[in-house]
Amino acid sequence: MARIRPESPQVYCHLARAHALKADRKGALNALEKAVGPGFDGVAELESSPDFEAVRSDPAFQKMLEVLRKRPGEGSRVELRLFQV
């Protein structure tokens, strides 16, 4: 699906969810980085969804949440290279 819609942050969020559910930290964080780059703004979802429990305590995940909370209003783009996995 990501190859079909590479510009869609939701596709990468769903991919991250699948990786997190398998406790694949590296895969989840890589997919989330791709989601956040094109404008994903689902901070509340990342903070509250039990699907992300396996990666929620990861420092890179916490840093991503921090950056998302500070992100300027809709339509802005923030380049992220938060972590090396």
Spatial neighbors of 14 by CB under 8 A, at least 6 apart, are 1
Locate all alpha helices (DSSP H) within the chain, ordered by sequence: 9-21, 25-36, 43-48, 53-56, 59-70
What per-residue confidence (pLDDT) applies to 68? 83
- Is pLDDT larger for residue 81 or for residue 9? 9
* Amino acid (1-letter code) at residue 68: L
User: How confident is the model at residue 61, as a pLDDT?
Assistant: 93
Q: Record the pTM.
A: 0.73
Per-residue pLDDT tens over the stretch 12-45: 889 999 999 999 999 999 999 888 876 777 888 8
| Rounded CA separation 42/48 (Å) | 10
Alpha-carbon torsion angle 47, 49, 53, 57, nearest 10: 0
